[in-house]
Amino acid sequence: MGKEINKKKMTVVKKMMIALVAGLLVGAAFLLLREQLISSGNAQVWSVINKLLFQDITAADGVTGIGLFYIIGQIFMQGLQLAIVPLVLVSLSLAMCSISSSSKLGRIAGRTLLGFFLFYVVGAALAGLVAYGVKSMGMFDVTLPSEAVTDAATLDAFNPLATIVSAVPSNITAAFSSNNSILAVVVVAIIIGLCMNALGEKTDPFKKVLESGNEIIQYYLTFLINKVGPVAIFCLISRTFAIYGTEYLAPAAAYIISAMLTLFVLVVTIYPIGIWITTRMNPIQFVKKIAKVGVFGFSTNSSAACLPLNTRTCVDELGCSKEITSFVLPTGMTINMNGTTVMHMFAATFIATSAGIDVKPANLAVVAFLSICAAMGCPAIPIAGTTLIVTILSGMGWTSDACMIAYALVVAINRPVEMALLPLNVIGDATVNVIVNAKEKELDKDIYNG
């Protein structure tokens, strides 16, 4: 029976990998076809293809479109996001309720936060070093496009510390009504779990309701990921690359390539090294088993969407306890945006350099601090990290017209980088989870090494 289950899981992983590769190839083929049709004066043919497969049917110009790939991808993404709030609420409440020792809870929370913070610092330091090196070689000296400054996507300036205040919701239904308020949901879940823990048997009926809800959510997500996931990933990847032409990528290829390469190198180095240093466990086993979570994160571009698959992988394949996993992963999904900080280091350096500002190492240290503060409150949804770049620029005082034009350029081309940073986020959550489980002596080493 165990072999059959493992075979089934490998089949799902293989399907996801095939979908990713096929999506990249098909997307690139459509991109080349688009360029060829437009350059040969057959733009109308591409318009028909675009309306049939890729058109955003919710946009103003999408009234007559079919957008088959768009529809499949959006249904899958929204189906995943449908479960985010109830999953975090139920799993974290049960985790808090099941941890009987307050000292144990304190240890788990302390080790979790320390692990995330240390990986934040290491990631920011290495990214800053690479970004400064690329900048020093003159590779960020690009010609800015001539779009008007008003075309730049902006976000109202705010103090990152305001995240602390907004973490405690004044209205519980308002907190549950949006995936942008996950931090507030985490706080509510912790409060409910701790109160249930303190009241003991009096809350058993409510606990059974939560446990039943958790079973329903897990069944739903298992079906969605296993049956719909591969097809949806193919559609998402194909559409992403098909609608982004070479005219957007060419002006800032140095930024995109250097950022994506750094993100990839970091994800296969700092986390395995971190596991080996702290637990002395074989990091190769971790990399092989967690790889599919990184692929899924790259495809969906959402930390929240990866939570169900990450949870299953940590518990069933890495030997982590359900109790600790139910605390660490939702917490990581909320505050661990390590990849976002790495991207911010490159984006801020690129924008400032493009605008004629001589970026110094001291400037990058401040950028890292601002980014870590902002990233901890970043919603676990696509493109959220890109919108926070303007917060970093405001904190640095880099808000000139030239900076805003460079920021608009980054917004236009940042999709591949946003996709590449997600594996760093979600695999970082799993890494800290394994380390905390090992330190609490609750890691099943037979399952981990199996």
Which helix (DSSP H) or strand (DSSP E) does residue 375 occupy?
Answer: helix 361-375
User: Rounded to an integer, what distance in angstroms lies between the CA atom of residue 406 and that of residue 264?
Assistant: 24
Domain count for the chain: 1
Give Cα 26 to chain centroid, integer Å: 24
Residue 16 lies in a domain: no
Mean pLDDT, all residues of the chain: 80
Residue 364 gets which letter from DSSP? H
Residue 87 lies in a domain: yes
User: Rounded to an integer, what distance in angstroms lies between the CA atom of residue 195 and that of residue 279?
Assistant: 33
Give Cα 424 to chain centroid, integer Å: 8
pLDDT category of residue 94 using cuts at 50, 70 and 90: confident
The pLDDT, as a whole number, for residue 149 is: 38
**Contact indicator for 175, 55 with CB cutoff of 8 Å:** no
User: Rounded to an integer, what distance in angstroms lies between the CA atom of residue 34 and that of residue 30?
Assistant: 6
The pLDDT, as a whole number, for residue 6 is: 46
**Contact indicator for 292, 13 with CB cutoff of 8 Å:** yes
User: Rounded to an integer, what distance in angstroms lies between the CA atom of residue 382 and that of residue 28?
Assistant: 21
Backbone CA torsion sign across 324, 325, 328, 330: negative
Predicted confidence (pLDDT) per residue in 177-214, tens digit: 876 666 677 788 888 888 888 888 888 899 899 889 88
Residue 71 lies in a domain: no
Residue 8 lies in a domain: no
Residue 264 lies in a domain: yes
Predicted confidence (pLDDT) per residue in 376-415, tens digit: 756 555 556 776 787 788 778 787 777 777 776 777 677 7
Residue 180 lies in a domain: yes
Residue 3 lies in a domain: no
User: Rounded to an integer, what distance in angstroms lies between the CA atom of residue 387 and that of residue 401?
Assistant: 17
Q: What amino acid is encoded at 185 in this protein?
A: V
Per-residue pLDDT averaged across 19-34, rounded? 84
Domain range enclosing 198: 77-449
Residue 61 lies in a domain: no
CATH code (residue 232)? 1.10.3860.10
